[in-house]
Amino acid sequence: MTIEASQFDTLHLDRLSRSFGGQTALHGLDLTIEKGEFIALLGPSGCGKSTALNCVAGLLPLTGGQILLDGRKVDHLPPEKRGFGMVFQNYALFPHLSVEKNIAFGLQMRGVGRAEVKRRVAEAIDLVQLGEHAKKLPGQMSGGQQQRVAIARAVVLRPPLVLMDEPLSNLDAKLRLEMRTEIRRLHQSLGLTTIYVTHDQEEALSLADRLVVLRLGEVQQVGTPQQLHEHPHNWHVADFMGYRNLFDGTVERASDGAVTVSALGTTVHGTTATPLAAGDTVKIGIRPEDFEIIPAGDSGGVSIDAAIDVVEYQGREFAVEARTSDGVPIHMRGASHPAPGDSVTLSAPSERVLVFPRNLDAGAG
């Protein structure tokens, strides 16, 4: 059975697991993806992102679970029978074929008629804005252009699902931003269901409808960018969502989501979604943008005395790194900027100070 080009309404990844030898790389990934959704798998190196993608693609057999398209089991099918489009970090183009021949290849393999191939290749080349490069070989183009070819080659087949594994990580910062917009634009115009692997939080936030944060092969949280940004379930997710300041502390008292923590040599008032008790070891998460410089005194949430260490101009605002007297780095950002060496008091409101159990396996999950 070939399911090539057969669209589906729901893709169910049902408790996908994969081990290598005795080592678990992916454990119980459970996710239902609706047609047209853009899903990002996000996490640090080695967390199982590529393993998950390769299992869905059919490049790696599962050691547990199943993959269902509208209830039909497909995990026994080889990659070519699944008919999914793939885009890899290293482009994986045929070096001896021109741009248009690279893009045409998959259509020809599927026996699409010559006129139709020509029409669809021209359309795909247009879509990724490579018109003037159609006759070039991959080696005659920049990395960004080659990745456009790889994307065109995947989408020209109008696959039911596109799988992208860190497609932008070989590109320089400027190109990465341009290609990000390009991928978003393509997704908006074609509406192809996509699973996108990245370790880059900004990329995931800006592209995805929903994010799946992984750690050690296990899902930590699934949600919209806003849900994960505002309500990370644990400090690992918070770390990936831009809570760059993560401080160790010990709970002094906690009730109804309000928690007082001893940390950074001071008392910090924060909020938690996890039941905590006095004596629990915790991590406090605060985003750089939630700190502000205040006149010395109490702030309600946290107020920390620190000396400004590094100030970086970043266009509309400044990124500032300060240090406490114990040498703990504190990251903040904002429109106003002190000078290196200045002594300041940094403050964040208690609702912006998130408190998590330090033990990740005991978190809200």
Chain residues in the site for ligand ATP (CB under 6 A): 20, 25, 43, 45-51, 199
| Distant-in-sequence, close-in-space partners of 93: CB < 8 Å, separation ≥ 6 | 102, 138, 146, 149, 150, 153
Beta carbon nearer to ligand ATP, 46 or 349: 46
Beta carbon nearer to ligand ATP, 56 or 183: 56
Do 328 and 247 meet the contact criterion of CB atoms below 8 Å apart? yes
Task: List the one residue out of 37, 320, 259 whose CA is nearest residue 162.
Answer: 37
Name the minimum Å distance from CB 175 to ligand ATP.
20
Beta carbon nearer to ligand ATP, 208 or 308: 208
Nearest-angstrom CA–CA distance, 319 and 334 = 7
Name the minimum Å distance from CB 3 to ligand ATP.
25
Do 172 and 114 meet the contact criterion of CB atoms below 8 Å apart? no
Task: List the one residue out of 142, 209, 152, 212 whose CA is nearest residue 176.
Answer: 142
Beta carbon nearer to ligand ATP, 48 or 357: 48
Beta carbon nearer to ligand ATP, 75 or 252: 75
Name the minimum Å distance from CB 203 to ligand ATP.
13
Nearest-angstrom CA–CA distance, 233 and 216 = 16
Question: Residue 2 carries which DSSP code?
Answer: -
DSSP string, 87-109: E-TT----TTS-HHHHHHHHHHH
Name the minimum Å distance from CB 46 to ligand ATP.
4
Name the minimum Å distance from CB 166 to ligand ATP.
7
Beta carbon nearer to ligand ATP, 84 or 291: 84
Name the minimum Å distance from CB 234 to ligand ATP.
18
**How many Cα atoms are found within 13 Å in the side-chain-facing hemisphere of 353?**
29
